[in-house]
Structure 1
């Protein structure tokens, strides 16, 4: 187990760049799903590997071995290395759990404060805040709300407001905050996965951009609304919950250029190159999952042997 268990920690170094290259050639919606699924799969494999290291090290302790009915030591592997690896894995798991709890508490407090400030919506899912600083964002929850300030309403023309609202509604209807939550959680499991967070955020914003363009029936209007909203918001930044998604977020010039480019994503990509990266990504995911399963199976066999059971 001590050898196979390391693969889930190494394979993200190859899988993450491959996933990013594939996402660049896809439409926003499948790109968001691909990147999020990749981060979740790699995070689960690396977390499983950490847990297996902790279990293997814990079984070296006499009290734990007694609970597991081990009548002889586990076979295979260096005892010192197993113990050190288990200690490091336990520290990483505890650190990740602590950061996760703190993040959830902070974001929950921010969302509660935002809902308190916006009060009751007066027009469906729309809440207007009396604030001269231009801002607009999708506030997740039950139900979700579109929050816009009077400053943002004054900065946009009526048709641009409709595009902005359609953008934020796409965030709510697509539950994009859950995609970002998965990305944040995955980043706690493996540091390499943090580099996919901006790519996922960009794909989600592009997804909402395309929805806004479809809603107003004019891609140039959607592009103009996003550009003007971003310029207005940056002129007088307004604090918003970290879990909220906003049209003014991310690389706005790149998003506007993508809206004005009417060619489909497939026409801008190199099919053979993308297929090559897809093969690499699938191989990494399969190897990572297979290594985690193999490590778990090997540990299970070692425990059975230490319990005096037959290897068969």
Structure 2
């Protein structure tokens, strides 16, 4: 158990899937893998904590097992258990804090969306600063729908075809609930900082997903690429002046008010100008990236639960002795 328990903490996250799969599939797979790995990491830390606690005389007295048998069968030291306990507490607190922040951001976005004028989904605000973003509403509440907010400065910077692509992109964020994927990836990264590449990868893939949905609506990849490029150029010299909730997703991938720069625009444009992924489910998906993702999560789960099983066996033998 002593070696197995550390393996789930060391497995790398397959963030390269963002470039190898269709955006919608990459988003689902990356988010699911990140949440699974974060949970398994917490399980691994929890097993280390339990392994340290059962070595205490008071625990042996309460559990009615042989302390000598436990110490002989498990080499986890008290220092290791203490460090694991501190990391587990930090992970749980960070996860709760991130969950609370995201819930507040979603509520703030829904409230702001409900307060915007007009009955339709599109809201045009009189502002010379080019801006375009989607404000998610609260799921299941028809009175709090999501809204697409566009400034007059952004409309002036784009022609009719560009505006159509931009609106399709923002509406895709709402229709596919992209803010949920980003929030889940950030929750996993909060619990395990080693998963921060996952949050960055998911933030990119949801934008690519929205790009591809816009292509489906407009029927022209180059037009969507031009719209992304024009929006980036328009916002280069006009940074946003006001704070927006973290749940906001924009044409350039804005997720929070503290964003610096315009996001990975060259990658977006290059992907749009390249040939689209021609995957036809359930066949013709790239086997290697999918196998790598499942192998990482599967191996992590196997190690974590094997260590937990070994701990259970040691306690069973100690109780019998």
TM-score bucket of the superposed structures, by smaller chain = 0.7 to 0.9
Aligned to 1:54: 49
Report Cα offsets for 1:204-227 as digits up to 9, x if no partner. Answer: 111100101111222222222222
Alpha-carbon distance in 1 for matches of 2:59, 2:214: 57
Q: Confirm or deny that 1:287 pairs with 2:303.
A: no
Partner secondary structure for residue 127 of structure 1: strand
Measured in 2, the distance between the counterparts of 1:184 and 1:265 equals 29
**Cα distance in 2 between the residues matched to 1:109 and 1:22:** 30
Is 1:240 matched up with 2:251? no
TM-aligned CA deviation for residue 275 of structure 1:
4.9
2:127 corresponds in structure 1 to: 131
Name whichever of 96-105 and 252-261 sits farther off.
96-105
Please tell me whether residue 220 in structure 1 is matched to residue 239 in structure 2.
no
- Partner of 1:256 in structure 2? 269
Normalising by structure 1, report the TM-score: 0.83
1:92-103 aligned within 5 A:
92-103=87-98
TM-score, normalised relative to structure 2:
0.81
Q: Which runs of 5+ in 2 are unaligned?
A: 139-144, 254-262
Residue of structure 1 aligned with 2:30, choices 24, 35, 41: 35
4+ long deviations beyond 6 Å: none
1:76 shift after superposition:
1.6
Deviation at 1:110, TM superposition (A): 4.0
Deviation at 1:233, TM superposition (A): 2.6
RMSD in angstroms over aligned alpha carbons? 2.7
Q: Which has the higher contact order (CA 8 A, sep 6+)?
A: 1
Aligned to 1:230: 232
Question: Whole-Å Cα distance in 2 between the matches of residues 224 and 277 of structure 1?
Answer: 30
Cα contact 1:139–1:147 (8 A) shared by 2: yes
Q: Deviation string for 1:91-128 (max 9, x for gaps)?
A: 11221222233333434444444455551451432333
Q: 1:50, 1:89 within 8 Å by CA — same for their partners in 2?
A: yes
Deviates most, 157-166 or 1-10: 157-166
Equivalent residue, structure 1, for 2:259: none
Q: What are the equivalent positions in structure 2 for 1:10-29 lying under 5 Å apart? A: 10-12=10-12, 16=13, 19-29=14-24
Matched, 1:209 2:211: yes
**Structure 1 149/113 Cα, relative in aligned 2: closer, same or farther at 3 Å?**
farther
Q: Which has the higher helix share?
A: 1
